[in-house]
């Protein structure tokens, strides 16, 4: 258990949060950019980079979850209505679910499409499924919608944090951005 007070996240938790945020937002944007490109050697290279980022996000999410299990988040402000605390808790659970679901659906899609992932071009990651075009078509859609759900929840998460800082004046955002001071 961490010796950090109940009102602060550990430096490790903050670092893992922001590294994951940058990777996830970047990979979502990159995926949207590359998906409609015409087939070319560049697009195939981009797909490899996208998959490498996905594997990294999966591993980072596992590290974040393990850290979180040993270092619980500080309590939300007591001034926050109970329904908002419940919504925050639920949204964090769904975010973690999607942190794993997005890369897993991509891995399944890639496996069913017959394209093995070779992490950073060095470490072959075993396919989870045999090549199956019909299943690949379904998994592509599942992967896309999983990522759209993740993007929507990331936007909601950021908007809620900003609302807490600007409207409520509490320390919810400042806990993840220690250079900020609560408005109240």
pLDDT at 14 over 90: yes
Q: Is residue 127 part of a domain?
A: yes
Q: How far apart are the first and last CA of the chain?
A: 30
What does the pLDDT average to over 149-176? 92
What CATH number is associated with residue 126? Answer: 1.20.950
Q: Is residue 161 part of a domain?
A: yes
Q: Is residue 181 part of a domain?
A: no
pLDDT at 10 over 50: yes
For the beta carbon of residue 135, count every other beta carbon within 10 angstroms. 16
Mean pLDDT score across all residues of the chain: 92
What does the pLDDT average to over 156-174? 91
Q: Is residue 110 part of a domain?
A: yes
Burial 149-174 (b: 16+ CB within 10 A, else e): ebbebbeebeebbeebbeebebbbbb
Domain that holds residue 24: 11-168
Q: Is residue 78 part of a domain?
A: yes
Q: Is residue 174 part of a domain?
A: no
pLDDT at 2 over 50: no
Q: Is residue 104 part of a domain?
A: yes
What does the pLDDT average to over 135-156? 97
Query: pLDDT tens digits, residue range 121-138?
Result: 999 999 999 999 999 999
Report the C-alpha gap between 50 and 106 in whole angstroms: 10
**Domain total for the chain?**
1
Q: Is residue 5 part of a domain?
A: no
Query: pLDDT tens digits, residue range 81-111?
Result: 999 999 999 999 999 999 999 999 999 999 9
Give the pLDDT band of residue 4 (cuts 50, 70, 90): very low
Give the pLDDT band of residue 172 (cuts 50, 70, 90): confident
């Amino acid at each position: 258990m961490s010796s950090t007070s109940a009102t602060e996240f550990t430096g490790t938790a903050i670092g893992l949060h922001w590294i994951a945020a940058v990777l996830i937002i970047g990979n979502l944007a990159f995926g949207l950019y590359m998906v409609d490109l015409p087939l070319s050697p560049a697009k195939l290279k981009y797909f490899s980079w996208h998959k490498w980022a996905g594997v990294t996000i999966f591993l980072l999410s596992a590290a974040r979850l393990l850290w979180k299990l040993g270092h619980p988040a500080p309590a939300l402000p007591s001034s926050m209505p109970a329904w908002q605390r419940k919504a925050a808790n639920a949204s964090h659970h769904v975010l973690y679910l999607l942190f794993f679901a997005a890369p897993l659906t991509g891995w399944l899609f890639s496996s069913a499409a017959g394209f093995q992932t070779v992490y950073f071009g060095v470490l072959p990651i075993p396919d989870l499924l045999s090549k199956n075009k019909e299943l690949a078509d379904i998994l592509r859609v599942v992967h896309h919608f999983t990522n759209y759900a993740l993007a929507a929840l990331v936007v909601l998460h950021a908007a809620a944090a900003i609302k807490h800082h600007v409207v409520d004046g509490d320390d919810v955002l400042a806990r993840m951005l220690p250079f900020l001071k609560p408005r109240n």
